A and B are shown apart, each in its own frame.
Chain A
Amino acid sequence: MNLLRFLLRRLAFAVFVLFCVLTLTFILSHLIPGDVIQAWLGKEAALYPNVAKAYAARYHLTDPVYLQYIYYITGMLQGNLGISPSEGFIPVSSVIESTLPLTLQIVLLAFVMCVVLGVGLGILAARYHNTPADAAIRVFYLAGYSSPPYFIGIAILVVASLYLRILPTGGEYDAVLVSPSTSITGFPIFDALVQGNFSFAENASIHLILPAMTLALVTFGVITRVARSSLLDVMQADYIRTARAKGLDEGSVFYRHGVPNAAISLITISSLVMTFLLTGSVFVEFLFSYPGMGYYAFKALQGSDYPGIMATVFVFAAIIIVTNLVADILYAYADPEIRLG
């Protein structure tokens, strides 16, 4: 039952942090210099004073600050994030609704690529450590995480699209195809699969590859580094010596006793990985013209769209907090000392 208490505490904390993030965005939004209404509505506000007044009334922009705060929080929790000047004044929540799944598609694919690449190379580097192979892997991931994501993206674009001509240079899907009509899961690719629209699903998936690969190349280094060093540490442990003393072959010693014990330390960096992936998505989506939330954040920034900026920051933070929580749960399950108290 210690486990339950532990998890409840983590959950409570996650909610608390989310709340703090909300408050922070509220404070920040009220630090915007100049007329609040103008800031939130964009420059057109001056041209349509009646609309501006109605808007101000609706969003309580003229009420005292503490009231605004309450409306803000309740509004946020109900999914009311304001309207977005940079997207033609449609509700921010609907923008998020259409762009978030796209970003998640890339991020999840990148996460899988990252883990496979990172863990695989980490294991190799540990197995052959202090050999040229280890050094080569090190150079590879060093170059990866030292390079800005947009640089890697550009390099990949140049190589893949110009010289190899096999993968598309951008966009979500080729314009000639029809996107799924109804939205069931919210994810276009899955919707297409469910509706039997395989050509769309396939095409959209192909468009995911380059952006996801770019993200993965920038991020896998963190995983490789941790995997390698924790594996090396684990292999020095006493119980590894015991496993050898039993007469277990080196391969089994490594994969049955070394790797699983090292894997636990990977759980702790998963939220770091997610942070890298999310922030990287801003650049990658811009480069590949992929209409996800990262691209929206970028456009919002360029267009001084404060509701948009706040909302994207909040959603990103929420994803990271949730990832943290999931990681905590996984860790508690994996470590018997926590699980059994």
Chain B
Amino acid sequence: MAATLLELSDFSVQYATSRGKVRALDSVNLKIGKEEFVALVGESGCGKTTLGLAAIGLLPPRSATIAGGSISYKGVDLSKLKPGEMQNYRGSEVAMIFQEPLTSLNPLRRVGEQIAEAIVLRIKKRDPTSKVKGAPRFPGLRWKLSPGLKSEVEQMLTLVRIPDPEHIVDRYPFELSGGMRQRAMIAMALSQQPELLVADEPTTALDVTTQAQVLKLMKEIKDKLGTTIMLVTHDLAVASQVADRVVVMYAGQVVEEADVREVFSNPKHPYTQGLLSCIPTGTRDGKQLTPIKGTIPDLTVKKDACLFQPRCPYAMEVCSKKPPSLFEVGKDHRAACFLYGK
């Protein structure tokens, strides 16, 4: 396997809420290697977004606490970073794009200015003494980009295949379509040449055609630039289109991990199997969709058992006695289920 870029070791995160402490992530073990395209898949509330935020150090400081374990990037424990180091880390090593591109871009700033801000950050981080002209001192004024900066912005826009970049530079986010906004966000994220790109449901707000285009773009980025991509999504179909490896999460834990083809042809964990039978196949073979019965567990309660057990058609006695660890079930294929180990 390629060198490990991001490593989570027994990583647990809790949120303080009015109902009590919610265990968003519970002893997660995960390794993401260089130039991998990993999809984190699971339903709402499974902790995949929390994992993504943790990778870029954007867990809400007031409510989230790391309850155990560690998350490391290139061997450096992220929780030990000082604020200044964290700011350096964000954007330049790990970048993130979000689900809603309209609200994730500053509505009062031109697209070009926002991308230029990222480019200037890249330059300043590499060379703090650089005299490159940043945004104007008075934040409300328009930033007239220098020709060099402007052409760099246009290059980034071309990279993400936005048509007519010279004019897009001066447009505001509300003037672009959803797909173009997302591309602009990707351009902004790539401006600092990060090694890891975390994408949190980037296509959920887009229509199916645009979705396919953006996913294709992301795959291109991985191939051309060698960027490692961690895609967070609830949609298995999306994962199947672009990912190399799929990590299935449930209730804050990793339940299955495998090559994308393996997961789809040979799912081992009952939850994964349930998810796959939920996907409408688009064929008229008369089979009914079988939803998974039951609901996700209450994450405020710590259980010393398999969290999926109440909904599992194969539940055994041992499942309610202790939590399963990730057992090897094939080549680079792991599943957390007592069907495959003790």
> Which A residues form the contact surface with B (CB < 8 A)?
237-239, 241-250, 255-257, 259-261, 263-264, 334-337, 340
A336 to chain B: which residues have CB within 8 Å?
Answer: 107-108, 172, 174
Which chain B residues border A248 with CB–CB below 8 Å?
Answer: 87, 91, 117, 121
Chain A residues near B100 (CB-CB < 8 A):
238
How many Å lie between the Cα of A242 and that of B106 in the bound state?
9
Residues 70-91 of chain B, each 1 if its beta carbon lies under 8 Å from chain A, else 0? 0000000000000110011111
> Which residues of B in the span 175-223 have a Cβ within 8 Å of any Cβ on A?
175, 185, 188-189, 192
Q: Tell me the nearest residue of chain B to A254, going by C-beta.
A: B139
B83, B96, B139: most-surrounded residue (chain A CB, <10 A): B139
Within 8 Å CB of B103, what residues of A? 237-239
- The reply on B104 being an interface residue by CB < 8 A is yes
Contact, CB under 8 Å: B89 / A247? yes
Q: Return chain A residues, CB-CB under 8 Å to B83.
A: 250
Q: Shortest distance in angstroms between B6's beta carbon and chain A's nearest beta carbon?
A: 16
What residues of B have a CB within 8 angstroms of the CB of A250 in the complex? 83
Report whether A246 and B98 are in contact in the complex, using a CB–CB cutoff of 8 Å: no
Query: Complex: how many Å from CA A256 to CA B120?
Result: 14
Dominant secondary structure of chain A at its interface with chain B: helix
B240 to chain A, nearest CB (A): 27
From residue B11, how far is it (CB to closest CB) to chain A in Å? Answer: 20
Q: Once the chains are docked, how many angstroms separate the CA of A237 from the CA of B91?
A: 19
Residues of A within 8 A of B275 (CB): none
Nearest CB in chain A to that of B188: its residue: A246
Q: What 10 A-B pairs are tightest by C-beta distance, nearest first? A: A247-B91, A247-B90, A238-B103, A246-B91, A239-B106, A238-B104, A256-B139, A245-B96, A260-B140, A260-B139
A247 B98 Cβ-Cβ under 8 A = no
The residue among A248, A256, A257 with the most chain B CB atoms within 10 A of its own CB is: A256
Q: Are the C-beta atoms of A242 and B104 separated by less than 8 Å?
A: yes
B interface majority secondary structure: helix
Tell me the nearest residue of chain B to A336, going by C-beta.
B172
- Evaluate contact between B172 and A246: CB separation under 8 angstroms: no
Q: A246-B90, A246-B118, A260-B139 are in contact. List 8 more A-B contacts (CB 8 A).
A: A238-B100, A238-B104, A245-B98, A246-B117, A246-B192, A248-B117, A256-B135, A336-B107
Q: Does B237 contact A (CB under 8 A)?
A: no
Given contacts A237-B103, A259-B139, A263-B140, contact A245 B108 (CB under 8 A): no
A244 touches B90 (CB 8 A): yes
A259→B141 CA distance, assembly (Å): 13
Report which B residues bind A (CB closer than 8 A).
56, 58, 83-84, 87-92, 95-96, 98, 100, 103-108, 117-118, 121, 125, 135, 139-140, 172, 174-175, 185, 188-189, 192
Minimum CB–CB distance for B107 against chain A, Å: 7
Residue from A245, A249, A250 whose CB has the most chain B CB atoms within 10 Å: A245
Q: Is the CB of B140 within 8 A of A244?
A: no
- B87 and A247 within 8 A (CB): yes
Which residues of chain B are near A340, meaning CB under 8 Å?
A: 172, 175
Contact B174 A245 (CB under 8 A): no
What residues of B have a CB within 8 angstroms of the CB of A247 in the complex?
87-92, 121, 125, 192
Contact between B135 and A245 (Cβ–Cβ < 8 Å)? Answer: no
Q: How near does chain A come to B176, taking the closest CB pair, in angstroms?
A: 12
Q: Which residues of B contact A263 (CB under 8 A)?
A: 140
| Set of chain A residues within 8 Å of B88, measured between Cβ atoms | 247
Closest to B106 in A: A239
- In the assembled complex, the Cα of A334 lies from the Cα of B83 at a distance in Å of 33
* Nearest opposing residue in chain B for A246, CB measure: B91
- Determine whether the beta carbon of A255 is less than 8 Å from that of B91: no
A261 pairs with B91, CB closer than 8 A: no
Q: Is the CB of A257 within 8 A of B121?
A: no
A257 interface neighbour in B96, B106, B185, Cβ under 8 Å: B106
* Among A238, A256, A337, contact of B98 (Cβ-Cβ < 8 Å): A238
With beta carbons under 8 angstroms apart, the residue of B104, B118, B172 that contacts A239 is B104
Complex A-B: 24 CB contacts under 8 Å? A238-B104, A239-B107, A242-B104, A242-B106, A244-B58, A244-B90, A245-B90, A245-B95, A246-B90, A246-B192, A247-B87, A247-B92, A247-B121, A247-B125, A248-B91, A248-B121, A249-B84, A255-B139, A259-B139, A261-B106, A264-B108, A334-B140, A335-B108, A336-B107
